[in-house]
């Protein structure tokens, strides 16, 4: 799906900010960086496991803060 950005009143800086937000939200930059080099499947699994542990830790901290521990 193409990303369309409208430049209003010649305001190129605002259009660039909108473009950067949309590209970041779609994950295009992250995907390009991942595809730049070959990563072995075992390394992908390790990285995914690290990320899941990190996310679980962040969620636990957030819940502790909400509950007041």
Q: Is the overall model pTM greater than 0.85, yes or no?
A: no
Q: Are residues 32 and 8 in the same domain?
A: yes
Give the domain range for residue 49. 38-69
Residue 2 has pLDDT above 90, yes or no: no
Q: Are residues 32 and 45 in the same domain?
A: no
Q: Are residues 32 and 47 in the same domain?
A: no
Q: For residue 9, give both structure tokens.
A: 């009143």
What is the pLDDT, as a whole number, of residue 48?
Answer: 96
pLDDT digits (tens, 9 = 90+) for 27-68: 999 899 989 999 999 999 999 999 999 999 999 999 999 998
In whole angstroms, what is the distance from residue 28 CA to residue 34 CA?
A: 10
Residue 42: alpha-carbon gap to chain centroid: 22
Backbone angles phi, psi at 9, to 5 degrees: 55, 30
Q: Are residues 3 and 32 in the same domain?
A: yes
**Domain count along the chain:** 2
Q: Are residues 26 and 53 in the same domain?
A: no
Q: Are residues 52 and 62 in the same domain?
A: yes
Q: Are residues 31 and 44 in the same domain?
A: no
């Amino acid at each position: 799906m193409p990303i369309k950005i409208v430049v209003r009143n010649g305001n190129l800086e605002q259009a660039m900010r909108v473009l950067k937000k949309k590209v970041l939200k779609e994950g295009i930059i992250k995907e390009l960086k991942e595809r730049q080099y070959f990563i072995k499947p075992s390394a992908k699994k390790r990285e995914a496991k690290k990320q899941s542990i990190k996310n679980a830790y962040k969620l636990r901290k957030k819940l502790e803060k909400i509950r007041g521990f």
